[in-house]
Amino acid sequence: MACHNGLTTAAGEDISIGSEWRASMMANSSRDPYWQAGVRREMTDHPSAAADIQDQCSICHMPMARAQARSEGLKGQVFAHLPITKARTRGARLAADGVSCTVCHQITEQKLGTTESFTGRFVLAPAKSDTSRTIFGPFRIDNGRTTIMRSATDFTPTEAAHTRQSELCATCHTLITEALGPRGESIGRLPEQAMYLEWRHSEFRDQRSCQSCHMPIVEEETRIASVLGEPRPGFSRHVFRGGNFFMLGLLNRYRLDLGVEALPQELEASVVRTIQHLQSDTATVAVERSDLTGSRLGFVVSVQNSTGHKFPTGYPSRRAWLHVTVRDRSGAPVFESGAITPEGMIQGNDSDADPKRYEPHYSEISRPDEVEIYESVMGDSTGTPTTGLLSAVKYLKDNRLLPRGFEKSTAEADVAVVGNAAQDEDFTSGGDRVRYAIDVAGHAGPFQIDVELCFQPIAFRWARNLKSYDNAESRRFVGYYEAMASRSSQVVALSRARVGN
């Protein structure tokens, strides 16, 4: 079922669901070259489990094709449906649609919010005896419009409150991966993504749903069907606002290679929306308690998380960090921590320099090679950092910024703070405070302090580790990344202060 197009508000504003969805990461989940390279990497690392890996990885990235395969007693496949540009079979065409409208809107309320529903184990409404299907939505549809939709699509629209609940999103956005040993045996588990659990442990669980933020409501009443549409209040735009501006830009640049159907201007608009969302709704920074005593400049950087989950959240390749610079009266640099290179590396970050190391969480920073990076770092069975999802059995570090109301001491293991941040009294519900102590000897004030909170959806190490894999998908993505690395990060928030006379 194609998404509706040409919807309008009561005031006449165009609301094109089709174009907004088409330019989202949801619609392009199967085209994502990073995901494709990641699946190939896991199959290379664990060849005896290759069929199961494709089946599991297709659940949320190719859900229609996977559901069809399962209905026929088969396992889901990934590479049989690629490349998207040559999708000829029914399965390939279903895979090409990514996370389609009909998948989310056919999920029933069964098991929602329970562990049984996580990792894509949602329950779809079964076909009826006459082959028609139920399609769920937040609005009540009268008999006349129900007849029209059923005759046109074989779907019977059904009012269902659960389509507005976070538990629906939790089915694919709470992912527990099973680590595999050398013979394909299970050696552990890891909460790869747990934004729903993070949200549930915050004060947002009683205030806002996932949909209320990521699918913003149109203020005007909106006609929800292009044929005999009735104006409805509370219609949610299907923009699926997230944080992956980088992949959206990459999809646009390499659109022909990847079979992208969204128009260039649609994807560009999606990139702009994503960056605006990051800069207005995710976090803030401020310089507090600054002082100059002799040759010592001291100040505190406060970072506040505005989201309803950890920031950053989702796939563990994402990281945010503080880029702090200090300049003297003449504008000459005195101190800098967290500068990003054109290759996408953070200067001074241990992980970017060495795959077997990672940067710790800091409560105080005094040297340029100390960088406050908010991230999760996975570890394998030997305790070595890894970017292989199916090799990871635990987190060595998780100091991602906590949402308001998130208590470290009572958090369940799957969303626990890990590493130095667990004992840092300034790393608390809602944010973090980092002290900076800088030697400014030989420089004259006043001193200007600039702080940027930066965000990178795919960290340098996560891309670079694919370079050692000799397969087409890895080579392609690494080439894409290296060509676009200078645009792999964005400033989310900034603050400036002057200290001294």
Higher-confidence residue: 466 or 184? Answer: 466
* Per-residue pLDDT, 12: 46
pLDDT (tens digit, 9 = 90+) per residue, 202-260?
999 999 999 999 998 888 887 776 667 778 888 888 889 999 999 999 999 999 999 99
pLDDT (tens digit, 9 = 90+) per residue, 23-36?
999 999 999 999 99
* Per-residue pLDDT, 224: 72
Query: For residue 149, what pLDDT band results from cuts at 50, 70 and 90?
Result: confident
C-alpha span between 286 and 303 (Å, rounded): 7
The helices-and-strands tally (H runs, E runs) of the chain is 16, 21
C-alpha span between 82 and 473 (Å, rounded): 11
Question: Which 3 state secondary structure label does DSSP give 182?
Answer: coil
Question: Which 3 state secondary structure label does DSSP give 203?
Answer: helix
C-alpha span between 440 and 292 (Å, rounded): 9
C-alpha span between 64 and 104 (Å, rounded): 10
Q: Phi/psi zone of residue 234: left (φ > 0), alpha (ψ -120 to 50 degrees), beta?
A: left
* Per-residue pLDDT, 23: 92
* Per-residue pLDDT, 16: 59
Higher-confidence residue: 446 or 152? Answer: 446
Residues 6+ apart with CB under 8 A from 361: 372, 397, 399, 419, 420, 421, 424, 427
* Per-residue pLDDT, 6: 45
Residues 6+ apart with CB under 8 A from 155: 1, 102, 132, 133, 134, 135, 149
Query: For residue 9, what pLDDT band results from cuts at 50, 70 and 90?
Result: very low
User: With helix as H, strand as E and coil as C, how does 152-166 read?
Assistant: HHCEEEEECHHHHCH
Q: Phi/psi zone of residue 419: left (φ > 0), alpha (ψ -120 to 50 degrees), beta?
A: left
C-alpha span between 485 and 345 (Å, rounded): 9
Residues 6+ apart with CB under 8 A from 123: 107, 108, 110, 111, 117
Residues 6+ apart with CB under 8 A from 30: 61, 62, 81, 84, 95, 96, 97, 98
Higher-confidence residue: 184 or 19? Answer: 184
Listed range (33-42, 180-189, 364-373, 395-404) with the worst mean pLDDT: 180-189
If you average pLDDT over each of 4-8, 74-78, 147-151, which comes out highest?
74-78
Strand partners, 422: none
Listed range (141-155, 161-175, 283-297) with the worst mean pLDDT: 141-155
Question: Which 3 state secondary structure label does DSSP give 127?
Answer: coil
pLDDT (tens digit, 9 = 90+) per residue, 426-464?
999 999 999 999 999 999 999 999 999 999 999 999 999
Structure tokens at 367: 């040297």
Instruction: Report CA torsion sign: 119, 121, 124, 129.
Output: positive
* Per-residue pLDDT, 14: 47
Instruction: Report CA torsion sign: 134, 139, 141, 147.
Output: negative
Question: pLDDT at residue 7 above 80?
Answer: no
* Per-residue pLDDT, 501: 75
* Per-residue pLDDT, 18: 67
Side chain identity, residue 231? P
pLDDT (tens digit, 9 = 90+) per residue, 373-382?
999 999 999 9
Q: Which of 75, 120, 77, 72 is nearest to 99 (CA)?
A: 120
Structure tokens at 292: 């100059």
Q: Which of 467, 454, 464, 499 is nearest to 485 (CA)?
A: 464
C-alpha span between 1 and 102 (Å, rounded): 6
pLDDT (tens digit, 9 = 90+) per residue, 384-436?
999 999 999 999 999 999 999 999 999 999 999 999 999 999 999 999 999 99
Query: For residue 1, what pLDDT band results from cuts at 50, 70 and 90?
Result: very low
